[in-house]
């Protein structure tokens, strides 16, 4: 029952994200502890599925599905997920990463995919609220109201995760 639930959620998320082979069955292989997808050539492991963009998408799909399962089944697992820069494969230059604007992405397809990724995360968090929290540190700065309403801290223009006042420049003896 649990693996079927996870597979259904993972497959749905892969389809939403339009991942390579996401239109087919996606699931966890518990023996190898990896994501696998059915393809025309047979079962394909995550390492052999496309680009870094697909790898990020499948990891997000798996984590979201796992947390949906944990909440739905009242499993004793911490109710949060932290992701660091899931959009990194989409922003090609350091300048684009610093600003994080959708228009800095070279491909229209990437703009749509980044938006779709955050829409999926937002939807799952809303679905599981108040039993799940997601923390995403990323350069992305999407213009949508639902996205901006979700931003708690915007570390730009000199503001940082660790305030400079916390740093002590003098070495300890």
**Would you kindly state where each structural domain of the chain is located, as residue ranges?**
2-153
Q: What are phi and psi of 135, to 5 degrees?
A: -115, 120
pLDDT in tens, 69-119: 999 999 999 999 999 999 888 876 555 556 667 666 666 778 888 899 999
- What would the two tokens of residue 52 be? 């870094």
Q: What are phi and psi of 133, to 5 degrees?
A: -130, 140
So what's the pLDDT on residue 107?
Answer: 64
Sign of the CA dihedral running 8, 125, 148, 51:
negative
Mean pLDDT of 134-157: 89
Cβ-based neighbour number of residue 40 at 10 Å: 7
User: What DSSP state is assigned to residue 77?
Assistant: S
- Strand locations in the chain (E): 26-29, 34-39, 42-45, 80-84, 133-137
Sequence-distant (≥ 6) Cβ neighbours of residue 121 within 8 angstroms: 60, 64, 134, 136
2-153 CATH choice from 3.40.190.10, 3.40.50.1100, 3.30.530.20, 3.40.50.300: 3.40.50.300
pLDDT in tens, 7-41: 999 999 999 999 988 888 999 999 998 999 988 88
pTM for the model: 0.86
């Amino acid at each position: 029952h649990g693996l079927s639930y996870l597979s259904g959620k993972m497959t749905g998320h892969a389809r939403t994200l339009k991942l390579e082979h996401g239109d087919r069955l996606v699931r966890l292989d518990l023996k190898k502890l990896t994501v696998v997808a059915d393809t025309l050539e047979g079962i394909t492991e995550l390492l052999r599925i496309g680009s870094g963009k697909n790898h990020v998408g499948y990891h997000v799909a798996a984590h979201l599905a796992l947390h949906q399962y944990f909440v739905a089944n009242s499993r004793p697992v911490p109710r949060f997920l932290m992701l660091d820069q899931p959009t990194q494969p989409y922003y090609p230059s350091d300048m684009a990463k610093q600003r994080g604007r959708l228009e800095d992405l070279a491909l229209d397809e990437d703009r749509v995919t980044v938006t779709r990724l955050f829409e999926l995360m937002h939807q799952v968090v809303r679905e599981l609220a108040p039993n799940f929290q997601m923390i995403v540190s990323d350069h992305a700065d999407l213009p949508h109201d639902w996205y901006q309403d979700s931003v708690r801290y915007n570390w730009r223009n000199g503001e940082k995760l660790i305030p400079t006042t916390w740093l002590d420049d003098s070495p300890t003896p």
